[in-house]
Structure 1
């Protein structure tokens, strides 16, 4: 049950007792979908390290989901990260239809529609905290939660910053199209020549309506944050800043990623390690491709069969995360386990496939897998969370976008950064990728000189990104700048 924000809970008393020692308190408000939950929980860890109390605010269901799946650290052991629960609204939680022509996770729309019910409980929480906050409450919210937090404007000591859960390149593409590619301050001919994928089939009409609704409230924020680094998206951050200046918004923009930990220990505190990591220990360096398409994709049976056959034919070692998409409530699993088992039984020659690799049918420690020395490639949907984890770990990507910002992220990876190859071009999104195409892509990434060169570039970029978060690095300086700004 969610805590009544108007009563003095133990957590509330902790806040009352501790806030007089802090000038700033941060409220983190994620969209309740895994890629969004994870990014802002990881950001909570980073901000808390500056001795700033951070309150991660979501429903009980999604707070539990975020804590269960976070990689690289234990949120329960972080003394400055606290979880506040908003009442969980009722919403339908159907499974995704893997045969839908549009791969956007429309099955999550009931969840997304329900977030409007969080506005009043969040406003009550905000009013409660504002009475005891020493100086300033800083709200960092997903761009898709702008309407939920909008009542902060009535609180004198509150301000908000919008978090864009996508790449700066994706935002650049939207602005670039809005100006019909006439923005005169863009002097990079290579960028002008990029073939930016169409937004057709990236979203459903209903979700686009939701984006439009949230966009009306984004303007209330004081600035924006990106899970990115100027090490590789500096051009696009600069473009966004110039666009902001030209529109007289004069808002600040910070690239303060990667949010995920970049230095991982090999074992959990109890000494345990996931079975996939133990398997990787036995493999040669850079010999394994990690195959995962995120939490919002369920492939059709025909595509699954072709992927399985392609993995077998490639003769490349692999770890394949073969699971259905998340429901809106991951605890609502009635039928989904049986569905997963039924579909797994349709794999051709599963025993033969697993002689060369490992098939995981549940949650996998993606960050640790990407960090392992045996991992040499990542076949990915190019969700931004996955891209940032892969970039920070120096792993090249075989790009297979499904929906949302993913087609444009794939262009960033393959054409701009040149640390990946295309498995499925967005123009052919309605076609099944044949086994031969998959096999050829895997061999190109993992067994060719071209793939070795991509691995070298990815390793160099990953090293630069990891150095950027160290003392004096470009990301650390930018993070310090943001913290100084909110403590001003």
Structure 2
């Protein structure tokens, strides 16, 4: 980031329009929507595009704001054919948790994006059109960049700098001269083996080949959290992008301030002691097997911690599809723990739960949005990575930031995590001196992140730098 002319947020910018092209998976949809919300606060017209189903999905699930109330944020729901295999669910009983069941939907949607997106850009008569595209949508945007001389394209990485840098560090032969602590952490990284399906790896490669047209890169992270790795990544000049054209604009999905009220859940939390409750959620794309659910349930019961467990089947291609299976727990579990535990089988208000003073820990799959939300609310984590960037997110949480304990060892991912491991991890997180120290560090990071988002803070200056760059 470089110092640039200050942005006057009260002046409507009429010569520049922004078009956001998200990847159609919940975490990607959500983080880019929140980036749009922040950009629109600078009085730029922002157009968020997607299939009609996915636009409905992201707006129905959004936390912390009402995007329909933002006058200069416009949604475009493109019609598509029915989702292929949309009734198939995740393979819960497989040790490989990558959501391959969603890949047919992704592959069917991408080719159908180009025509309506071309038409939208053609309709925009602004002097400049800035396209912010999810890095997994590069092949969709490349043709548009070639067709319109007034278009600038910026890639959006929904993951963190530590993860992205680690990939390039390995490709480069691990030759970077790093400080001893950072070098040790890099050498001990979890393997990428098992993180993606073979089909998705091929898809990733097809998107990388289309990335040479971008003018800059945006990451959903903060220099407060990982400025060291962000600067290392920027120095690599990926696709020829110079360091000053990398922006850390996160945390994006966090809205500090008064939380929305989901009375049934938050009223229960109101009656629990401070920092006493563990929130349990494994994200939107994975399903636990019956054996895994049994071990988690038994571990929660044995640990004697208070908890809220968000227990849902994995998302399908159409999340509004009827007939999604009900997830069943061991017989008698809910009755035995009813004095100290709540099981939520509908969409849970994660951000509001994490923001509540009674929540003191988060048993999580380590999706990056969830990690950012937990850190921003000062809540340490118990890390149970499933796929994709999650094993290395877990390493960032436990080894770099030191605000979490490991539950699922990625090197032993083919084994079922036993109830005893769950119990021990939760006791460490919630009832030990070690856990209290993690909680202290997490709350310190939360304060720093909040300050960075305020006027004059590091993240706000970073956003001003990006806005100044695209309106110049």
Q: TM-score normalized by structure 2? A: 0.94
- What is the rounded CA distance, in whole Å, between the counterparts of 2:399 and 2:329 in structure 1? 38
Distance 1:233 1:89 in 2: 41
Distance, in Å, in 1 between the alignment partners of 2:469 and 2:81 is 35
Q: Which has the higher contact order (CA 8 A, sep 6+)?
A: 2
Match of 1:482 in 2: 466
2:133 is aligned, of 128, 133, 141, to: 141
Q: CA deviation at 1:354?
A: 2.5
Q: Indicate the residue corresponding to 2:98 in structure 1.
A: 104
User: What number of residue pairs does the alignment pair up?
Assistant: 455
Deviates most, 313-322 or 91-100:
91-100
Residues 21 and 303 (structure 1), Cα distance of their counterparts in 2 relative to 1, 3 Å cut? closer
Which residue, out of 33, 50, 58, partners 1:58? 50
**Structure 1, unpaired ranges of 5+:** 1-18
Deviations 1:391-449 (A, max 9, x none): 11111010000000000000000000001010111011111111111011101100101
* Structure 2 segments unaligned to the other structure (5+ residues): 1-10
Return the alpha-carbon distance in structure 2 between the equivalents of residues 116 and 58 of structure 1: 12
Q: Contact 2:363 / 2:383 at 8 angstroms: preserved in 1?
A: yes
SS at match of 1:265: coil
Deviations 1:233-284 (A, max 9, x none): 1111111111117x744361100111123323244xxxx5341111101101
Matched residues in 1 for 2:226 and 2:254: separation?
Answer: 19
**SS at 2:237 equivalent:** helix
SS of 1:324's equivalent in the other structure is coil
For the 8 Å contact 1:226–1:256, the answer to whether it is kept is yes
2: distance between equivalents of 1:227 and 1:266?
A: 22
C-alpha separation in 2, matches of 1:347 and 1:484: 59
1:320 paired with 2:309, answer yes
The partner residue of 1:441 within 425, 428, 445 is 425
Query: What's the counterpart of residue 27 of structure 2?
Result: 35
In structure 2, distance between residues paired with 1:175 and 1:363: 36
CA offset at residue 191 of structure 1?
1.3
Does structure 2 conserve the Cα–Cα contact (< 8 Å) formed by 1:116 and 1:147?
A: no
Q: Please name the residue that 1:199 is paired with.
A: 192
Give the aligned CA root-mean-square deviation in angstroms.
1.5
Report the equivalent of 2:300: 311
The equivalent position to 2:120 in structure 1, one of 125, 141, 147, is: 125
Alignment counterpart, residue 415 of structure 1, candidates 399, 402, 412 = 399
Residue matched to 1:25: 17
Q: 1:251-330 counterparts in 2 under 5 A?
A: 252-267=245-260, 273-330=262-319
Matches within 5 A, 1:47-86: 47-86=39-78
Q: Is the 8 A contact 1:60 1:87 kept in 2?
A: yes
Secondary structure of the structure 1 residue equivalent to 2:269: helix
**TM-score, normalised to structure 1's length?**
0.91
Pair 1:223-2:216 in alignment: yes
What SS does structure 2 have at the residue aligned with 1:358? strand
1:45 and 2:37 correspond? yes
CA contact (8 A) 1:103 1:403 kept: yes
Looking at structure 2, the residues matched to 481 and 283 of structure 1 have their Cα atoms a distance apart, in angstroms, of 43
Cα distance between partner residues in 2 of 1:274 and 1:327: 28
CA distance, structure 2, for counterparts of residue 408 and residue 36 of structure 1: 18
Contact 2:275 2:357 (8 Å CA) reproduced? yes
Cα displacement (A) at 1:21: 5.8
2:408 aligned with 1:424: yes
